[in-house]
Structure 1
């Protein structure tokens, strides 16, 4: 028992009740049901009353994760897609009285210092892109509710997953090219070890396989214009018949294909049809404007935040992937027959 002018602490309450400090936090935070017994909760409340214990509200908020703050983990802040995703997530969070802390995990600089060691207690939950999965290495157990974006729905990581129907987007782009008569197709794939890009590759392969005389080649590139230009140049000058169409995993990759085609003397779409993914501002800055799969990143972020808020409320998140659609512009045309 605390003596003198010393203010009683949760440790004093735990000692008097014969329980752990964690149990004290659960009971006094009214989160004990199903986690400690009724008798234990009664002992804790009685001990707190007898000691005259009054919790430090700010400290309790930090311990119990009741600061109404969400951590959004993304691979980078510099991409238009993730900036839009943040906008959608933050808007929904604000509508429900939550704030959003942004944690970027940029590619190529190694793992950043984990936000979970010091900030875990100050967070209500985490919304994370699978492309930044390395940043989640320190998140273990059930300490924070987690909703994953662009993630394998069969995975056991997280309480829920929210996905764009990226497989259907890749199918739409590939089917568009096949319908235009293209039979030699190149898939310029993002060289990123992520479920979302693996899913795209599966969809492209499956769609090409539906046409008996169609062939598919695959080249990989980092998501950068220069990297895509290098990979596309190599693929388009490889021995054998040149591809007449390219399916790109990202609009930046498509821009690299444009540069490679120009330097090889190929005209888009006369000699080479090109499709992208994302429908970034870049898609209409290119000449000709790019046929691409539109991914509504802002809607994606909003759906992800709603799913996390549902988890926090003990509700079931809305099921089903978010539809995507192909925007046809002038970078694709029927196969040219010499």
Structure 2
């Protein structure tokens, strides 16, 4: 190997490495791209690596990946960054991605919930695949019908537009909630449902209706914020007629609003009214009393989503089966009050 020669400029190039090692730039590309075996000698490969190390050369991985047709980048589409659940989904996806040399670009819906616009005009050229929440499906119109793999999280498994699905067993979560309340003697319920149209909330509603087919159930929809949930629950609880003894909420945020509504009406939780949530956000243990809720493994669904995308890219079959959820029983639920 020749002695490394000084190079002009602040950053060495592959041409500088080739000159120092006495080889062509194509050979440098083969060696540093780890594609040299069977094409150049081990001695030559060693010379190239030594020259690169001596010069402090670092290959432009982004440019190389683009030439190879891969950027090792996934797009994660979620409804909102402010929602703790999706922040944890991102953490799980990014952890698995990092172990495989991938990066994850996070794109939230501008309005927090519902559809988002096409994130980037040229996004498809800079991505290897997309992972998306069912609550942001309209953001994916730009990617459907392309060759980009699409992994859907917590979404309708019959959707043929997705390459793979990773779901939580939210139906079982709702069955666990209703079974807990029925065992406590509750027979009159208010379902404080999310006003956001989403497959996951539809599944929760269907499971609740089936589990409580012999009980009295009234459904009221509310926006996914504490104030809107409080107002909706307060109106429902103040209406004439028998008051429900339990409020089953689609989300912990809705449950926090329901607890505030109860207090404004002079009702005690859980002595006069039990309240349950869904998700087990940090909010669930920040309120008083602490919420009985369904714990969803948010980081795990992010991990499985990224693993599914990697499997598709490798030509493997993604792992199947819904992720289990568990009931966290706390102080917001108690025996049904005597009439």
Structure 2 length as normaliser, TM-score? 0.79
The answer (yes or no) to whether the contact 1:64–1:121 under 8 Å persists in 2 is: no
Q: 2:272 maps to what in 1?
A: 271
Shift of 1:141: 1.3
The answer (yes or no) to whether the contact 2:79–2:112 under 8 Å persists in 1 is: no
What is the CA–CA distance in structure 2 between the aligned matches of 1:199 and 1:330, rounded to whole Å?
Answer: 26
Q: 1:218 maps to what in 2?
A: 219
The answer (yes or no) to whether the contact 1:255–1:286 under 8 Å persists in 2 is: yes
What is the CA–CA distance in structure 1 between the aligned matches of 2:91 and 2:228, rounded to whole Å?
Answer: 28
Deviations 1:201-237 (A, max 9, x none): 000000001xx3x111101001100010011011111
Shift of 1:143: 2.2
The answer (yes or no) to whether the contact 1:294–1:326 under 8 Å persists in 2 is: yes
Shift of 1:87: 0.3
Deviations 1:93-114 (A, max 9, x none): 0011100001111336986552
Shift of 1:64: 5.9
The answer (yes or no) to whether the contact 1:149–1:161 under 8 Å persists in 2 is: yes
The answer (yes or no) to whether the contact 1:93–1:100 under 8 Å persists in 2 is: yes
What is the CA–CA distance in structure 2 between the aligned matches of 1:236 and 1:109, rounded to whole Å?
Answer: 27
* Count of residues paired in the alignment: 280
Q: Please, which of 141, 148, 155 is the counterpart of residue 137 of structure 1?
A: 141
Structure 1 length as normaliser, TM-score? 0.79
Q: 2:185 maps to what in 1?
A: 181
What is the CA–CA distance in structure 2 between the aligned matches of 1:333 and 1:175, rounded to whole Å?
Answer: 13
Q: Please, which of 152, 170, 189 is the counterpart of residue 166 of structure 1?
A: 170
Q: 2:314 maps to what in 1?
A: 313
Q: 1:301 maps to what in 2?
A: 302
Q: 1:243 maps to what in 2?
A: 244
The answer (yes or no) to whether the contact 2:80–2:113 under 8 Å persists in 1 is: no
Residue 128 of structure 2 corresponds to residue 124 of structure 1: yes
What is the CA–CA distance in structure 1 between the aligned matches of 2:222 and 2:113, rounded to whole Å?
Answer: 18
Shift of 1:138: 1.4
C-alpha RMSD of the superposition: 1.8
Residue 85 of structure 2 corresponds to residue 85 of structure 1: no
What is the CA–CA distance in structure 1 between the aligned matches of 2:178 and 2:132, rounded to whole Å?
Answer: 29
What is the CA–CA distance in structure 1 between the aligned matches of 2:207 and 2:280, rounded to whole Å?
Answer: 19
Distance 1:98 1:66, change over 3 A: same
Q: 1:99 maps to what in 2?
A: 103
The answer (yes or no) to whether the contact 2:94–2:104 under 8 Å persists in 1 is: yes
Distance 1:111 1:273, change over 3 A: closer
What is the CA–CA distance in structure 2 between the aligned matches of 1:109 and 1:82, rounded to whole Å?
Answer: 12
The answer (yes or no) to whether the contact 2:116–2:136 under 8 Å persists in 1 is: no
The answer (yes or no) to whether the contact 1:71–1:101 under 8 Å persists in 2 is: yes
Distance 1:243 1:58, change over 3 A: closer
Q: Secondary structure at the match of 1:62?
A: helix
Distance 1:259 1:314, change over 3 A: same
Higher alpha-carbon deviation: 107-116 or 328-337: 107-116
Distance 1:194 1:109, change over 3 A: closer
What is the CA–CA distance in structure 1 between the aligned matches of 2:195 and 2:71, rounded to whole Å?
Answer: 38
